[in-house]
Amino acid sequence: MAAHLKTQGDRIAEGLSWRQHIELDACTRCGECQRWCPVYAQDSRELLTARSKIKYLRKIVGERLNDREEEKFISSLYECSACGQCHVVCPVRINTSELWEQSRASLVKTGILQPVSQIKQLSAIKEFNNSYSRPQQERGLWADMAWESGFLLKPLRLWKDHPAPVLYFAGCTASYDPSQQAVAVQSARLLQEAGIDFSILGSEEPCCASKLRRMGDGDFLREAWRRAEMIREMGIRTIIVSCAGCYKGLHSDYAGIWLDAPEVLHLTQFLDLLIGDGRLRMRHEVPLIVTYHDPCHLGRHNNIYDEPRRVLRTIPGVKLVEMPRHRSFSSCCGMGGGLKLAYPEVQLKMSAGRIKEAEATSSDAVVTPCQTCAMGLQHAVDEHSSPIKVYHSNEILIRSVCPDVTGEAVIEAFSRR
Amino acid sequence: MPDLGPIQYAKPWAIFWTVAVLAHAYMDYSFLRIWKRWSRGTKTGTGHQRNVRAAIKIWTAEVLLQRQLFILSRSRWVVHMLIFWGFLSLSLLSMMTCIAAALGIADIYTAAKFFFSSGKGHIFVKLWGDIFGLFLLAGLAAASLRRFLLRPSQQVTEQADTLLLLFLLWLALSGFVLEGLRLSLVPPELARYSFIGSLFIPPGAYTIVQLQPWLTACWCLHAFSGLALLVYLPHSKLIHSISAPLVIALNASAEFARKDIYWPHISKHRATGSLKD
């Protein structure tokens, strides 16, 4: 078809894969997605369900939607954390989160842009190489500060000076966000405690750019390709990430991009191996009842359920109890998919819902191996004055291995600097 | 041994075949348009190595046995299995009947055709129709009960849903009414094989001459309704009977490679103590 004769629907249709087109026709509107949707649980509008999104998507690729319908569809597409719960429960097994992300990208190509708040963050990632709009030179400061504050056994070496067998990839949040820098420090310390020869990229570490994919930015492939090429040229073979979003990005989103894919592991997977090999020893008891929150990007999207639980169970004194919704049925905290940027009030309700679930287990703390989830859950705890604590899984582990590197200690030391 | 063959009454075969060819042609055209719509998307592979054995295993579990639905809700699984297997088996029966009729028109008599239309095999054909007709009828009745009376919160009923349900009910019932009329003309010992159809035998005694117009009318209603379904199928949500198995098959290898949510034991991962159906 000549380009000038193509309708908006044609262009959106071309952005989807042929398999996704079949998926649009496979939905029977059974409503299983509605029953389990964590967004619908907070804002019970049919528009927000996966079946409704599919209905509008089917309409938009077949014909022109009127302005009102278009507005409704777009709001439903972005009022979603793409957590993948609807994928898990769909009897037809429609890969919904992939469909939403691809639809977002497809709409953007036709000029139907994301909510303004998302565009701002996407621009920041492309301009500053991080979502915090901070200079790239500051990215590796946490490592220097950690050494100078006495949190590390030895200074961290940069890959360019020492290309170690393992690279620790801290990610934007743990590098820049003062409330989460402890995650990077603790990750590095735990790796040192286990005697791992690793290095970091410091100010050369790029943003994984997975947020571009989550929010449908058209530049994702180009940006991801650049980063994959950089990592390939450096000869990096094993990457350890402590962020669920970076894991999803480097492990899953880059799957079709890597020319020679390095091994990408989440920190909990690596620690699980190290503990199994007896290389990381627990020294102190941590008397806590904890419940585990599965991050969507690790659990539903990448099938990592057992390793983090095994790590927690090896810590003496820790008792792990499950929430009613766990593993592939874990309720999303709302921090993914750009939902928090576009609909912060919905995200807060989702996190608050999850905190209520955690409270009902009578746990002392809710533990998650994702700093983004931890931030979202902590926000809900603060807003609702909940007595429950929110910890990154590193925090529990570090209290047993080397209790002088607690999150509190790191935050305090870093804030003085 | 009584004659096991079908009761002979007038059937407008010429009109039926003409309409059947047209209906089929229209259905094929509709599917072609759907295929073209699907083809507008980018061609991408599954991104994983094909694993035929895993794909067959997943497809059997998910399409033929509908494992995912079984795990989510036993009651909905029973209802959907009744409709699925009832519809599939009756469609197969109708297709075989049409082929047999076509063989008759072409004057091709085979031993198999004789066995199933006039010989002892006729009983199996009737039994097949009754068992799966019962499946379909029970499934549709339960689905109607759920949709219109129980009304679970997740259910959204659009006009098309009501229309499809009524249409399938009509097909199943008209088949049984036709069977009941036919059985009123055969000896009772033969009627027992059609254990559901015999419930539809009209009261009183009739001759073939008396019932002939009714049999023809009922046959027309049932047969032409079946053809109407061919026309409606690509435009109704029954399209999922084609697209859903296709999606499952296409995703199967990828799911197996990821060892993800569906493989090997989703039941291990399901929520506990909440959202009971």
The nearest CA of chain B is from the CA of A106 a distance in Å of 11
For chain B, state the CA radius of gyration. 22
The DSSP-derived string for A296-351 is: TTTTTTT---HHHHHHHHHSTTEEEE--SS-GGGPPP-S-STTHHHH-HHHHHHHH
Q: What angle do CA A10, A14, A15 make, to 5 degrees?
A: 120
In angstroms, the CA A16 to CA A25 distance is 13
Tens digits of residue pLDDT in A128-170: 999 999 999 999 999 999 999 999 999 999 999 999 999 999 9
How close is the nearest chain B Cα to the Cα of A12, in Å? 9
**Averaged pLDDT for residues A66-85:** 89
A31-35, A372-376, A386-390, B252-256: the lowest-pLDDT one = B252-256
Give chain A's domain count.
Answer: 3
Residue B117 CB neighbours (<10 A): 19
What pLDDT shows up at residue A12?
Answer: 87
Q: What is the mean pLDDT of chain A?
A: 93
What is the per-residue pLDDT for A350? 97
For the entire predicted model, the pTM comes to 0.89
Beta bridge partners of A320: A290
Pairing, β A198-200 against β A166-169: parallel
Do A285 and A235 have their domain in common?
Answer: no
- Report the distance separating Cα A135 and Cα A112, nearest Å: 30
Q: Are residues A148 and A97 in the same domain?
A: no
Alpha-carbon distance B169 to A130, whole Å?
Answer: 59
Q: Which of A105-114, A174-183, B257-266 has the lowest mean pLDDT?
A: B257-266
- Tell if the CB–CB gap between B247 and A22 is shorter than 8 Å: yes
Inform me whether the pLDDT recorded for A1 exceeds 70: no
Where do we find the tokens 């469609």? B91
Is the model more confident about A15 or about B193? Answer: A15
Can you give the residue range of the structural domain that contains A336? 281-404
Among the candidates A216, A246, A274, a domain finishes at A274
Residue B264 preceded by cis peptide, ω within 30 = yes
Residues A137 and A264 in one domain: yes
Q: Whose CA is closest to A376, among A398, A358, A360, A399?
A: A358
Residues A121 and A268 in one domain: yes
Judge contact between A40 and A48, C-beta under 8 A.
yes
Is the model's pLDDT at A71 over the cut of 90? no
pLDDT of residue B264: 45
DSSP-derived secondary structure for A234-284: HT--EEEES-HHHHIIIIIITTTT-SSPPEEEEHHHHHHHHHHTT-S---S
- Interface check for A40 against chain B (CB to CB < 8 A): the answer is no
Task: Report the distance separating Cα A239 and Cα A187, nearest Å.
Answer: 13
CB A28 within 8 A of CB B244: yes
Please state the rounded mean pLDDT for residues A181-206: 96
Query: Is the distance from CB of B174 to CB of B222 less than 8 angstroms?
Result: yes
Contact B174, B217 (CB under 8 A): no
Instruction: Please identify every stretch of chain B with a pLDDT value under 50, giving residue numbers as ranges.
Output: 1-4, 263-264, 269-277
| Per-residue pLDDT reduced to its tens digit, A277-333 | 999 999 999 999 999 999 999 998 988 999 999 999 999 999 999 999 998 889 999
A176 and A247 together in one domain: yes
Does residue A101 sit in the same domain as residue A232? no
| A152 and A262 assigned to the same domain | yes
Q: Is residue A416 part of a domain?
A: no
Check if A325 contacts B (Cβ < 8 Å): yes
A392 shares a domain with A287: yes
CATH code, A324: 3.40.50.11810
Sheet holding A365-368, edge to edge: A318-321, A288-292, A365-368, A389-392
Neighboring chain B residues of A305 at a CB cutoff of 8 Å: 269
| Chain-chain contact of B251 with A93 (C-beta, under 8 angstroms) | yes
Query: Residue A390 forms beta bridges with which residues?
Result: A366
Q: Which residue has the higher pLDDT, A69 or A364?
A: A364
| Cα A139 from Cα A145, distance rounded (Å) | 12
Q: Which is higher by pLDDT, B116 or A196? A: A196
Query: CATH number of the domain that A37 lies in?
Result: 1.10.1060.10
Minimal CA separation from A31 to chain B, in Å: 5
**Domain boundary residue among A255, A274, A293?**
A274
A154, A9: one domain: no
